Structure 1
């Protein structure tokens, strides 16, 4: 292993021969080239949205021309927002790097600690550095997030949040992120400091372990801080899910319904958990006519809050929205088909394969980091001539030096993900849920106001799931094979 690191260090020795300024602008240029490619793909997709097309034959039973046009306008609005936001972030980041924000912020973090006689203690300085960045990122993103939810999503009927809910949510996210991130960053830096020649192995084991721990505690202890999770009530759907899980020998422990309608009108379903304790989570918006709470006092409180924050809406508008909500969602048989697709991922070990790939990739990335992080040229390129802080090395290497690799790796995962989605659909077809799955996918397409037409290149590069039309075609082929 040490021989591998030495070989990579020799390979990357050319970096020391490059002038720091040249290296800095080269890394900035690479980031802009990748960003330009992304914008080109988005342009192709936007042009696709601008074309007026008829409802595809596969969707004529669930979608009208008016609904297709609404989905098209929604997609165009989201694309414009994402492009403006992306360009702004890219320009902002470039300007901050050009004016030397990283060394300035590192020095400022040290000055803050100097007040308490902790100057030059690298781990504490790194904590202050990361804390400042997280606070800045949260504050600077508030206008964008507010616009997205209360203008864009509100315009198309998806936003269900109140301003009070939004503010509380933002504060909670910041606090949870700090509580999770700061200790992990501190321990990671300490491991790199004392790990010796094999620090990258210990760092990899640490990050891998923390990833598994967070994967366990997040759905059980963190997600309930943001959304309400209730057990699925007794009834036909609960019985059917338990029967299907038993048939497939799926180790089902609990079935929850999350109150997604308090945040958005979008739908989803997933499962989580390790070994013999899997838990299924259904969004209340996925189940037709389902309300997560039957408590009248809770409902009155929510109604009162809605009336106080949305007084500009007329009563008949609210009643019409509630009527539309009741019409959305899937029937029990269709919900079962969606879950059967998820069971397919479990049965075919897709989640386990993805987990192994991510951990192997993480190990490879730490090997590359070990070969790169002591290169003075990298630190000098970003204004660090006297010191080589480990945190700054992590930031430069992971966000800039390895960016092309991450792009290629992400694309490979996207291709693999689409393959897995077809296999999971086929699993549901084999269990005789083809028609139900097809109906569910079409309903979710309409309920989420998703535009069914996509640019071929954009979809191949970005979509982790095949397009709806591709999935419906594959389901029909699987039925006849």
Structure 2
């Protein structure tokens, strides 16, 4: 027997107590997350920034960042406890079965042609999404109207916040429903080849939604307008032309209506790219600093980071689907949740609990890849003669966004997709020395 067959045979053993195994996995993750939070709390007790930042006169920024990070991590600890208790309730009291029965009742009132497992699964997903949003709503409100406002980042009003959260929920519901319905239909048609066809469908779906996001979804929350003529526009056009970047236009997004955080990104097709600058960045950064930020972003494009990340994501989806195939026909796993005939969507939902260790490992791997790309994009900007402005833009960005300036190595490796500020500044200096 092959190693894969041995694993499949073992996980389908009737002697395994899957309910207890899943509770143990959830508990292990909670303990792991708590351990990282406790270690990070210890780091945040330090009164001085890392030595490499002391020369940058960052004490005031460090004090502000430390206060913001302390409040965020305390909120995160409470949130983790809340989610852990919610997970235990789900497992212990067979909530999945109750929700499936509720979705069956909801689908019973639909016309005959609309009934079926796919429709019921979509309804179950909608019920889960609504329940999840209600569970996390108090934390989200606390974060935005106490934590963010306390540290001068929130510019939104309660009414605008409720409107935006309602829009987010509705959009997520539509996207989630389309993904579930499409995936289940592919599984139904593909039968034993469902892994490959499902992988292909999900990969295409992710790419399409990601590409269309700035054009179809972002305008529902923010208004944008073309960047006017002037020094900044000339600087960006010159940078794009120099690097062969297929720039179609530059848009300024009114992000300041909800937050004072700064941001910039680009999207589009290979032959036509669109840059989006938040007005907070345009207002707070010098022309050269904004151009340096975009030189960093163009570095991601020139070094094929977007393609690499896309391939990594697709391989991650394939790995998860392959692991799911080992449990797909496991009657003992699903009967432990009260199911006799288990629909595909419920199978995958229960399987996600078993994915916990693998997801944690993949999180570390994702951050390793992302950090490598950030260092490379910084080096690319430095090689574009933006060494000084790349550094000052990074410092400003961390100050404006309350970025974490110091962290325990394990906490940072798991939670941070970008290197810390002092790590990036040190790498920029090393690249500059090599150029000289």
**Normalised by the shorter chain, which TM-score bucket?**
over 0.9
Equivalence for 2:379: 426
Mapped to 2, the partners of 1:151 and 1:381 lie a distance apart of: 42
2:91 to 94, 97, 100: 97
Distance 2:364 2:52 in 1: 31
Q: Shift of the alpha carbon at 1:457?
A: 2.3
Task: Tell me, yes or no, if structure 1 residue 277 matches structure 2 residue 302.
Answer: no
Aligned pairs for 1:57-456 within 5 A = 58=53, 61=56, 63=58, 65-116=59-110, 121-288=116-283, 329-384=284-339, 386-397=340-351, 399-456=352-409
Aligned 8 A contact 2:12 2:327 in 1? no
Distance 1:350 1:206 in 2: 22
2-structure distance, mates of 1:37, 1:461: 11
SS at match of 1:256: strand
Is contact 2:227-2:252 (8 Å) kept? Answer: yes
Shift, 1:429, TM fit? 1.2
Query: Could you state the TM-score of these two structures normalised by the residue count of structure 1?
Result: 0.86
Identify the range of structure 1 (471-480 vs 209-218) with the bigger mean alpha-carbon deviation.
209-218
Aligned to 1:28: 23
Q: How far off its partner does 1:420 sit?
A: 1.2
- Give the Cα separation in 1 of the matches to 2:277 and 2:403: 20
The Cα of 1:96 is off from its aligned counterpart by 2.5
What is the CA deviation profile of residues 424-452 of structure 1, one whole-angstrom value per residue up to 9, with x for unaligned ones?
11111111111110111111122222342
How far 1:247 sits from its partner (Å)?
Answer: 0.3
Distance 1:54 1:129 in 2: 48
Q: Is the 8 A contact 1:374 1:388 kept in 2?
A: no
Cα-to-partner distance string for 1:373-398 (whole Å, 9 max, x where unaligned): 111112112221x211100111122x
Q: What is the DSSP-based 3-state SS (H/G/I as helix, E as strand, rest coil) of the residue aligned with 2:385? A: coil
2:8 aligns with one of 4, 7, 12: 12
3-state DSSP of counterpart to 1:431: helix
CA contact (8 A) 1:55 1:68 kept: no
Counting matched residue pairs gives 433
SS in 1 for 2:44: helix
Distance 2:337 2:115 in 1: 19
Aligned mates of 1:451, 1:403 — CA distance in 2: 26
Range with greater deviation from structure 2 (177-186 or 46-55): 46-55
Kindly indicate whether the alpha-carbon contact (under 8 Å) linking 1:261 and 1:284 is maintained by their aligned counterparts in 2: yes
CA contact (8 A) 2:26 2:87 kept: no
Q: Distance in 2 between matches of 1:331 and 1:375?
A: 60
The alpha carbon displacement at 1:362 in A equals: 1.4
Contact kept, 8 Å, 2:252 with 2:279, in 1: the verdict is yes
- Partner residue, 2:45: 50
Give 1:408 deviation, angstroms: 1.1
1:301-344 CA distances to partner (integer Å, 9 max, x unpaired)?
Answer: xxxxxxxxxxxxxxxxxxxxxxxxxxxx2100011111111111
SS in 1 for 2:275: strand
Distance 2:408 2:42 in 1: 9
Structure 1 stretch displaced more, 54-63 or 100-109: 54-63
In our comparison, the structure showing a higher alpha carbon Rg is 1
Q: Secondary structure at the match of 1:86?
A: helix
Q: Does the CA contact (< 8 Å) of 2:50 and 2:422 recur in 1?
A: no
- List alignment gaps of at least 5 residues for structure 1: 289-328
Counterpart for residue 325 of structure 1 = none
Separation in structure 1 between the aligned mates of residue 251 and residue 111 of structure 2, nearest angstrom: 50
Call closer, same or farther: CA 1:451–1:372 in 2, change over 3 Å. closer
Segments ≥4 residues shifted beyond 6 Å: none
Q: How far apart are the structure 2 equivalents of 1:58 and 1:170?
A: 38
Q: Distance in 1 between matches of 2:265 and 2:90?
A: 39
Task: Please list the CA deviations of residues 26-47 of structure 1 after superposition, one character each: whole Å capped at 9, or x if unmatched.
Answer: 1221122122112111111111
CA RMSD of aligned residues (A): 2.0
